Amino acid sequence: MVHLDGVKPVADLLAAATRHLPSDDHRIMLAELLGEGLRVELAGVRGPLTTALSKAALVTGMQGVAPDAAARTALRSAIGNGSRYVATSLTAEELLRQLVREQFAEAASRRSRLRARESAC
């Protein structure tokens, strides 16, 4: 078990967040709330930590992949070719703050696209 005090590897924090949800249904619901399964035009571009957490929760909940392996794979995939910087270690609070920032940025982007679509009509 990972203790959430102090600085920890991001993959460990994502795994702990996924592991400590009460059930697979909760993991799947978290993934869906973070945009997993939506068409790109609806979800837009998600931040790397949001993407990693949603994918880790989804494969843990639906496919039974161990949270540690799911988090490592999802984080590597979310970072991609290196153009999306993610710190290798954070505190749990820093991780949460970054996830919230990503969600705010995504919401702002969605609002902007919606306004542009409404203006075009």
- pLDDT tens sequence across 39-48: 777 777 789 9
Whole-structure pTM value: 0.87
| CA dihedral of residues 106, 72, 15, 22 (deg, nearest 10) | 80
The residue extents of the domains of the chain are 8-120
Please tell me which residue, 10 or 81, carries the higher pLDDT value: 10
pLDDT of residue 40: 73
10/2 Cα distance (integer angstroms): 11
- Of 49, 31, 35, nearest to 94 by C-alpha is 49
pLDDT band at 83 (very low <50, low <70, confident <90, very high): low
Please tell me which residue, 45 or 55, carries the higher pLDDT value: 55
Alpha-helical segments (H) within the chain: 10-19, 24-33, 40-43, 48-63, 67-79, 92-120
pLDDT band at 53 (very low <50, low <70, confident <90, very high): very high
18/117 Cα distance (integer angstroms): 36
